[in-house]
Amino acid sequence: MKLATVRDGTPDGVLHIVSRDLTRSVAATEIVPTLQAALEQWDRVAPLLQRLSDALNEGHVAGAVALGTLNLAAPLPRAWQWLDASAFHSHGDLLEKVFGLAPPPDKHSVPLMYQGAGDELLGANDDVPLPAEEDGMDFEAEVVAFVDRVPMGTSAAQAEGHIRLLTIANDTSLRALAAKDLKTGFGFLQSKAATSFGPVAVTPDELGEAWRDGRVHLPLHVHWNGVEFGRPNCSAMGFSFGELIEHAARTRNLAAGTLIGSGTVSNENFREVGSACIVERRAIELVDEGQSRTGFMKFGDRVRIEMLDAHGQSIFGAIDQAYVQANFQLGHRRAWTTRSILHGTLSKARGNRRGQGGKQP
Amino acid sequence: MKLATVRDGTPDGVLHIVSRDLTRSVAATEIVPTLQAALEQWDRVAPLLQRLSDALNEGHVAGAVALGTLNLAAPLPRAWQWLDASAFHSHGDLLEKVFGLAPPPDKHSVPLMYQGAGDELLGANDDVPLPAEEDGMDFEAEVVAFVDRVPMGTSAAQAEGHIRLLTIANDTSLRALAAKDLKTGFGFLQSKAATSFGPVAVTPDELGEAWRDGRVHLPLHVHWNGVEFGRPNCSAMGFSFGELIEHAARTRNLAAGTLIGSGTVSNENFREVGSACIVERRAIELVDEGQSRTGFMKFGDRVRIEMLDAHGQSIFGAIDQAYVQANFQLGHRRAWTTRSILHGTLSKARGNRRGQGGKQP
């Protein structure tokens, strides 16, 4: 089944069931109010949600509405833990080489993982408000697993059973700040802004044969300002999601609703399939041409991230969002709305109503 | 005023007002149910809470109970962001020297800060369940500020106005895992277990003259198994809490209820006043004697952390807790209860009823 969260002015929104073809949606309120609550009692509510999903897909649900009319938040608008790995070795190996970084110990046997901020996660069509282009704004397209409660000491094999949902994400990174964060050893902090998530999260069975070995065996399509940037396959993860969860839970419990990210998707043949973030392309240019030609993002730029199934059907819906300058006077949540009103710059590029998060407080 | 959270089986517990002398407590339920909710609407509820606090201190409140009869959680049993700095230069300088670490860039002008897990914060008398003594179990006594919502781009001067509460904390660290985490550059993950917090959080005015320059000007008393280990003064912070918050909010908003930690307290004259964590003492021994004599903690060890005012009165109450082996079969929350029942090892050492968190789910 496929799940989404509709904004209603509360921090956690309202849980909806979405049809497999992403056209129709119905509130799950009578079963459970929010996705966080669903993940806290998954075994009990999942069969009820599945029944509603089946009825929706068969066209038997009264009260279903067109998905495109809804204002979607991230499936989890906030998460108690957001743990993001860097699980694609071709990405890490290239960046170490180019930036002269010391390879982390046991880098191909122990996952790299940082703790991100989970308190304010952006929806798929929300603008990304940031303070300055000079910070080196970059997207990072990746896959994310949602777990129910994982006790400390859970093994990789056990961990796969805790993966309840999957989606795609854009882990916005500020490259001019990343090197400094890395050098402290204390991890990415200023260099990681709020992360954005796909419109819809799906149970692993929705991926069929494409979900196996704790990995998603499909390419992730990334477009920057309407031009294809990359389509690396997510199957190249150097660690399975089960292994990432085992690593995360070594000395702590993970609360229900913890998010585990794959890190930016990358394939060894990145020269053919492209990349899922700008810094990787810049590194390839540096190796091949002696200098980086591609600049980082400018305000007004858009990124689109989507995964298609074997029939070309979108699985999670698309992340499609603009990067905008934060307005510190107004508080960033309203900044882009003001820009839209004053300049009309964003409304033109906005493809559907789900992006109109500015109606929210 | 002084605030605490009483366990009631729900994740966020019930907000209480505690008398200045830490003897009596009354539920604030009629004003606001939880501390998280209070921090989300501080300007509205703080005057109402203050009125209840004044009445409690004057002995005019019906329904007040003895604080010692209550089962306290951490003031915030879970937090949307837990950001912990390393703001005491004497600690960082010593450890860099001893471990041959490269000094972080601009280390005395840019704060060091890592993102911790906020999903499961321990109360002052909860046991700390961990997988293995071999991980190098250590305490870290520090001071923590609670903020209301801080918008991206907030300056240090503005930030001090967002500090609504202060308390003490024990940021449990696993030293055998820390070097590896540091070397990845991705920050502390496996090397940081759940953090424990003082029984009571207080508004800065409760500290009187001891709260100035965005710092707490009082020593933090640390005992390990009943023996004084250190009493470093928190005034030596190399950055004010305002500066730490500015650093954290450079490229992100901080949700109401974000916790900002000082990092382990340390003074330049650590040979006289002692330390707030074992690794610092071991480093001093290494410098002075050529080798570290003091070992890390063993299961069954206790740490006590407390701050006294000028009259010797406890400000936040004491953190006083045991380190125990996690029982993966039962899930760690119930592990020590089972130990207590089977072996009677912990109940003996337990000083008051607030430690009996095992009644909770």
What DSSP string runs through A170-235? Answer: E--EEHHHHHHHHHHSB--STTB---EE-S-EE-GGGGGGGEETTEE-SB-EEEETTEEEE--BGG
Dihedral over Cα of B264, B266, B270, B274: its sign: negative
pLDDT < 50 stretches in chain B: 330-361
- The answer to whether residues B331 and B344 touch, using CB atoms and an 8 Å cutoff, is no
Residue B337 has what pLDDT? 37
CA A40 to chain B, closest CA, distance in angstroms equals: 11
- Which residue of chain A comes nearest to B84, CA vs CA? A186
The Cα–Cα gap between B191 and B130 comes to: 11
Residue B109 contacts A, CB cutoff 8 Å: no
CA A255 to chain B, closest CA, distance in angstroms equals: 6
Degrees, nearest 5: CA angle A332-A336-A338: 105
Matching residue, tokens 């992730």: A220
Residue B107 has what pLDDT? 84
Residue A297 has what pLDDT? 98
Residue A349 has what pLDDT? 35
**List of residues 6+ apart from B59 with CB closer than 8 A:** none
Residue A101 has what pLDDT? 85
**Contact across the interface for A332 and B152, Cβ inside 8 Å:** yes
Residuewise pLDDT in 10s, chain A (361 residues): 999 999 999 999 999 999 999 999 999 999 999 999 999 999 999 999 999 999 999 999 999 999 999 999 999 999 999 999 999 999 999 999 998 888 887 888 999 999 999 999 999 999 999 999 999 999 999 999 999 999 999 999 999 999 999 999 999 999 999 999 999 999 999 999 999 999 999 999 999 999 999 999 999 999 999 999 999 999 999 999 999 999 999 999 999 999 999 999 999 999 999 999 999 999 999 999 999 999 999 999 999 999 999 999 999 999 999 999 998 654 444 333 333 333 333 333 333 333 333 333 3
Considering only CA atoms, give the Rg of chain B.
Answer: 19
CA B309 to chain A, closest CA, distance in angstroms equals: 33
For chain B, positions 211-270, list CB contacts with chain A under 8 A: 247-248, 250-255, 258
Residue A25 contacts B, CB cutoff 8 Å: no
- Which residue of chain B comes nearest to A137, CA vs CA? B251
**Contact across the interface for B331 and A151, Cβ inside 8 Å:** yes
* Helix (H) or strand (E) segment spanning residue A303: strand A302-306
**Contact across the interface for B253 and A332, Cβ inside 8 Å:** yes
The Cα–Cα gap between B104 and B92 comes to: 10
Residue B19 has what pLDDT? 98
Residue A102 has what pLDDT? 83
For chain A, positions 320-349, list CB contacts with chain B under 8 A: 326, 328, 331-332
In the 8-state DSSP scheme, what is residue A274?
B
Helix (H, G, I), strand (E, B) or coil at A321: strand
CA B77 to chain A, closest CA, distance in angstroms equals: 12
Residue A55 contacts B, CB cutoff 8 Å: no
The Cα–Cα gap between A170 and B47 comes to: 41
- Which residue of chain B comes nearest to A118, CA vs CA? B80
The Cα–Cα gap between B168 and B99 comes to: 28
- The answer to whether residues A264 and A233 touch, using CB atoms and an 8 Å cutoff, is no
The Cα–Cα gap between B67 and B63 comes to: 12
Nearest by Cα to A336 from A320, A353, A355, A352: A355
Find the distance separating the first CA and the last CA of chain B, reported in whole Å. Answer: 30
**Contact across the interface for A253 and B101, Cβ inside 8 Å:** no
Helix crossing, A89-99 with A278-289: angle to 10°? 50
Which residue in the set A118, A152, A332 is minimally distant from B326, CB to CB? A152
Nearest by Cα to B148 from B213, B79, B194: B79
- The answer to whether residues B218 and B207 touch, using CB atoms and an 8 Å cutoff, is yes
Residue A107 has what pLDDT? 84
**Contact across the interface for A252 and B86, Cβ inside 8 Å:** no
List, as one string, the DSSP characters of A136-171.
Answer: TEE--EEEEEEES-B-TT--HHHHHTTEEEEEEEE-
Which residue in the set A115, A151, A180 is minimally distant from B117, CB to CB? A115
How many CB atoms are located within 10 Å of the residue B338 CB? 14
Residue A187 has what pLDDT? 96
For the purposes of burial, counting CB atoms within 10 Å of the CB of A93, is it exposed (0-12), middle (13-18) or buried (19 or more)?
A: middle
CA A208 to chain B, closest CA, distance in angstroms equals: 32
Which residue in the set B101, B153, B184 is minimally distant from A112, CB to CB? B184
List, as one string, the DSSP characters of A19-50.
Answer: -TTSSEEEE-TTT-S-HHHHHHTHHHHHHHHH
Please provide residue A232's backbone torsions phi and psi, each rounded to the nearest 5 degrees.
Answer: -65, 150
How many CB atoms are located within 10 Å of the residue B212 CB? 13
Structure tokens that stand for A96 in this block:
């170490």
pTM reported for the whole predicted model = 0.91
Residue B183 contacts A, CB cutoff 8 Å: yes
Considering only CA atoms, give the Rg of chain A.
Answer: 19
**List of residues 6+ apart from A322 with CB closer than 8 A:** A127, A128, A300, A301, A302, A336, A346, A349, A350
The Cα–Cα gap between A257 and A164 comes to: 9
The amino acid at B348: K
**Contact across the interface for A189 and B131, Cβ inside 8 Å:** no
pLDDT in tens, B99-149: 888 888 788 899 999 999 999 999 999 999 999 999 999 999 999 999 999
pLDDT in tens, A11-32: 999 999 999 999 999 999 999 9
**List of residues 6+ apart from A292 with CB closer than 8 A:** A282, A283, A285, A286
